Structure 1
Amino acid sequence: MTREEKSIAIEDLTAQLAGSNIVYVADISGLNAETTSNLRRACFKAGIKLEVVKNTMLSKAMEAAPADYGDLATILKGNSSILLSDTANAPAKIIKEFRKKSDKPLLKGAFINSEIYIGDNLLDSLASLKSKEEVIGEIIGLLQSPAQRVVSALLNQFKDEEVA
């Protein structure tokens, strides 16, 4: 790869990082071709972009990106892949699902809405994060519940008055 090609690749990677608030870094080395294809397919279905990257290029892209990736650059050793998503818990759920059949992919770290998570031990916590849609749904449910009780009580009150 020439210096110019590397520069273009870093710019592309920087643009991808700038366009996503959710970035997972994982090690998928050692997966056979079939398992890697299945992982890519599952990511595609879940709206996750999976890309194998060179650590030095990812490190330079993180430095150039507008967000502060903090200590995330320290985990860039060995093989690295990035998973870009719009849903905070989606990559963790995919990784967790694949870990039922093998010991890979390993979670190296994640950047989720300016928060840094480092280590495979956080996989369960990240998988249990609620998506924006789930949180909004819960809030709407909570808001509707008291209103429904008030309406129900009022209707019962009117029925009681009609009977009397």
Structure 2
Amino acid sequence: MNRTQKGEIIEKLRSKASTASIAIVTDFKGLKVEEVTPLRVKLRESGVDFHVVKNTLARIALNGTPHDVLNDSLKDCCAIAFASGDPVSAAKIVVEFEKGAKNFSTRFASLEGTLLSSAQVDALAKLPAKEVLLAKALGTMNAVPTNFVGLFANILRNFLYALNGIKEQKEQSQTV
């Protein structure tokens, strides 16, 4: 690989890293290309880029990006998954694939510049998707005014029952 090819790889990785919300570093030592292909397909469907790259090139590319916290930890064979969208979905795909693969593991990750251990990536993968969290938050915010309206409707209904009761008492006292 000549210098221009290395420069192109570095620029490509730098552009991916600068827009990515999460960068997950994985170990794939001992896996064949055919065994990693299903992971690549799932990641690509979710809009996640998965790159096998030399550590020196990755260090240069990540320098000056939010994910430069990974530089000190890049060792041995590794691949990096960059997700610019929902970080939870990327973590779910990688952790799910890790459960079924023998020689594949998640080493660590960078979530918007914060270094995460493998256990923290597993915990991130257990979170509900962004859409589910937004739906729950919206449901909670919608419940407050709905309950408020229901409360006032009950107060008004009870007030009307009381007025109706007073009216009936007065009608009975006038007829007697």
**TM-score, normalization: structure 2?**
0.79
Please list every run of 5 or more consecutive structure 2 residues that lacks an aligned counterpart in the other structure: 165-176
Tell whether the 8 Å contact from 1:25 to 1:80 is kept in structure 2 after alignment. Answer: yes
Secondary structure of residue in 2 paired with 1:79: coil
Q: Tell me which residue corresponds to 2:7.
A: 7
Pair 1:113–1:130, CA change in 2 (3 A): farther
Q: Tell me which residue corresponds to 1:84.
A: 82
Give the share of equivalent positions with the same residue, in percent.
Answer: 25
Cα shift at 1:139:
2.7
Pair 1:108–1:5, CA change in 2 (3 A): same
Tell whether the 8 Å contact from 1:26 to 1:105 is kept in structure 2 after alignment. Answer: yes
Amino acid at match of 1:95: V
Q: Tell me which residue corresponds to 1:136.
A: 134
**Aligned partners of 1:23 and 1:130: how far apart in 2?**
19
Q: Tell me which residue corresponds to 2:38.
A: 38
**Aligned partners of 1:75 and 1:96: how far apart in 2?**
20
Please list every run of 5 or more consecutive structure 1 residues that lacks an aligned counterpart in the other structure: none
Pair 1:7–1:113, CA change in 2 (3 A): same
Tell me the matched-pair count: 161
Pair 1:66–1:100, CA change in 2 (3 A): closer
**TM-score, normalization: structure 1?**
0.84
**Aligned partners of 1:68 and 1:13: how far apart in 2?**
11
Q: Which has the larger radius of gyration?
A: 2
Cα shift at 1:99:
2.5
Secondary structure of residue in 1 paired with 2:75: coil
Matches within 5 A, 1:56-75: 56-63=56-63, 65-67=64-66, 69-70=68-69, 72-75=70-73
Higher helix proportion: 2
